[in-house]
DNA sequence: TGACATTGTGTAGGCGCCTACATAACCATG
DNA sequence: CATGGTTATGTAGGCGCCTACACAATGTCA
């Protein structure tokens, strides 16, 4: 808490110095960097593409038509996000949807010919992504496996549970109820 | 590309099956999960806190008053983001700012007493974050180090450079100039 | 048949970050 | 001291995701 020098020395990376409370920020920064560069690659190839399209397109290509809810569940994002992505994909003519005849609540998405062509066209870039991912995994030493394990760890016990569990937090926490500013 | 079954089988996690093109999405999803849970922890403790405050607050606590640009540089985010965070912090009474007497373009941020008190109050939670980060690193097998190495790898050569470099991409890429939809 | 919960999808608005652009203060020139 | 480039900050609007809420179609049960 001591107020030290205001300039001069500068830690090489704040997320490295204070890992714990900033790990979310760090992952976010990495994802934005990678997503941004990938988008730039699409643009550089003259292909109009949105990052968020990938999951849905890939699933439709692999497994055929699917509903909003099915895609959300497979992609592990909310149905809202899928719904918005669907909207964008339809506007771009890459996907069409129709009400499921057996249940009018459901909306079945399927690729258009333009969608199939787009996927075909992007295959090389996506294969390159795979290669780069391998390259990075090599350089970063087992990154993907570490992410797998992080996913697993958080599935076993969420961040929230970990933060709130007595052993780590409540022992330490000063119980004066002075908080709640707003 | 073959259209297979539309229901039934479901890969356990799409990001694991198609790692390359979705690595950004995966990191984003992880960061959102962690950030969201951390925010829930603040809320559960009755403290009104925004995730984005952390970097700036931490820096001000560690190094004393600083300008928007200095913070942006240290935190490795844009000055815009710092500027918006500053605004939010000032509205919450946690930080005040004044024009630098020697250069009126610069705005020096410093903690208020309320800001110092908030930091004091959050120390236990932040220490818990550290512990949880260590816990996760243990469970995820050297996660933080892998992230360090990923950062380094991307600094050496950006994702964009990797994607565009001939060896990986241009060899594969079908050169028909049919793209550019919009 | 009508009431009521459940399910599938959509809308509004928020998060923390971004890029592109605008503005104001500073610093050289002439 | 006017001109124009540079620097520090701010505004507008976008990204992909989120939560909270709205609503229509379906199932259930009196």
Residue numbers in B near A159 (CB within 8 A):
33-34, 37-38, 41, 132
Say yes or no: A27 and A51 in one domain. Answer: no
Q: Which nucleotides of C are covered by protein (CB under 7 A)?
A: 7-13, 15-20, 24-27
Residue numbers in B near A9 (CB within 8 A):
63
User: What is the domain extent for residue B138?
Assistant: 47-164
Q: How many CB pairs under 8 A join A and B?
A: 351
| Candidate from A10-24, A87-101, B46-60, B127-141 with smallest mean pLDDT | A10-24
In a domain, A150, yes or no: yes
The pLDDT score that the predictor gives to residue A136 is 86
Say yes or no: A69 and A132 in one domain. Answer: yes
In a domain, B76, yes or no: yes
CA of A149 to C1' of C11 (A): 36
The pLDDT score that the predictor gives to residue A148 is 86
Say yes or no: B34 and B51 in one domain. Answer: no
Domain count across chain B? 2
Residue A18 has pLDDT above 80, yes or no: no
pLDDT tens readout for residues B82-131: 999 999 999 999 999 999 999 999 999 999 999 999 999 998 888 888 88
Mean pLDDT of B7-32: 67
CATH code at position B101: 1.10.10.10
The tokens describing A140, both together, are: 């970063």
pLDDT tens readout for residues B122-180: 988 888 888 888 888 888 887 888 888 888 898 888 899 888 885 444 444 444 433 33
In a domain, A177, yes or no: no
CA dist., res. A97 & res. A110, Å (int): 6
CA dist., res. B32 & res. A32, Å (int): 12
Say yes or no: A77 and A28 in one domain. Answer: no
Structural contact between residues B83 and B68, judged by C-beta atoms closer than 8 angstroms: yes
Say yes or no: B38 and B64 in one domain. Answer: no
Say yes or no: B51 and B81 in one domain. Answer: yes
- Cβ–Cβ below 8 Å for A116 and B62: no
H or E element, residue B150: helix B143-156
Say yes or no: A30 and A51 in one domain. Answer: no
In a domain, A104, yes or no: yes
B166 in A contact zone (CB under 8 Å): no
In a domain, A64, yes or no: yes
Say yes or no: B68 and B155 in one domain. Answer: yes
In a domain, B5, yes or no: no
The pLDDT score that the predictor gives to residue A176 is 42
CA of A78 to C1' of D20 (A): 13
Say yes or no: B37 and B76 in one domain. Answer: no
Q: How far is CA A72 from the centre of its chain?
A: 13
DSSP designation for A100: E
Nearest to A146 among B41, B51, B142 (CB): B142
Instruction: Give SS3 for A66.
Output: strand
Say yes or no: B38 and B70 in one domain. Answer: no
Say yes or no: B28 and B94 in one domain. Answer: no
B50 in A contact zone (CB under 8 Å): no
The pLDDT score that the predictor gives to residue B18 is 59
In a domain, B97, yes or no: yes
Say yes or no: A99 and A132 in one domain. Answer: yes
pLDDT tens readout for residues A133-171: 888 888 888 788 888 888 889 888 889 988 888 544 444
Q: Is any atom of strand C within 7 angstroms of residue A30's beta carbon?
A: no
pLDDT category of residue B22 using cuts at 50, 70 and 90: confident
In a domain, A132, yes or no: yes
Residue numbers in B near A181 (CB within 8 A):
47-48, 92-93, 114, 118
Smallest Cα distance from B104 to chain A, Å = 18
């Amino acid at each position: 808490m001591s107020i030290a020098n205001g300039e001069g020395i500068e830690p090489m990376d704040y997320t490295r110095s204070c890992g714990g409370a900033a790990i979310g920020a760090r992952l976010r920064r990495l994802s934005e960097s990678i997503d941004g560069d990938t988008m730039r690659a699409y643009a550089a190839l003259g292909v109009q593409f949105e990052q968020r399209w990938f999951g849905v397109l890939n699933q439709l290509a692999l497994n055929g038509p699917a509903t909003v809810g099915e895609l959300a569940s497979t992609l592990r994002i909310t149905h809202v996000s899928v719904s918005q992505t669907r909207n964008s994909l339809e506007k771009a003519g890459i996907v069409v949807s129709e009400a499921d005849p057996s249940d009018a609540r459901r909306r079945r998405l399927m690729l258009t010919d333009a969608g199939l062509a787009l996927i075909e066209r992007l295959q090389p870039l996506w294969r390159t992504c795979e290669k780069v991912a391998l390259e990075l995994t090599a350089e970063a030493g087992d990154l993907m496996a570490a992410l797998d394990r992080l996913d697993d760890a958080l599935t076993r016990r969420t961040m929230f549970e970990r933060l709130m569990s007595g052993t780590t937090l409540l022992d330490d926490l000063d119980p004066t109820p002075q908080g709640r500013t707003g």
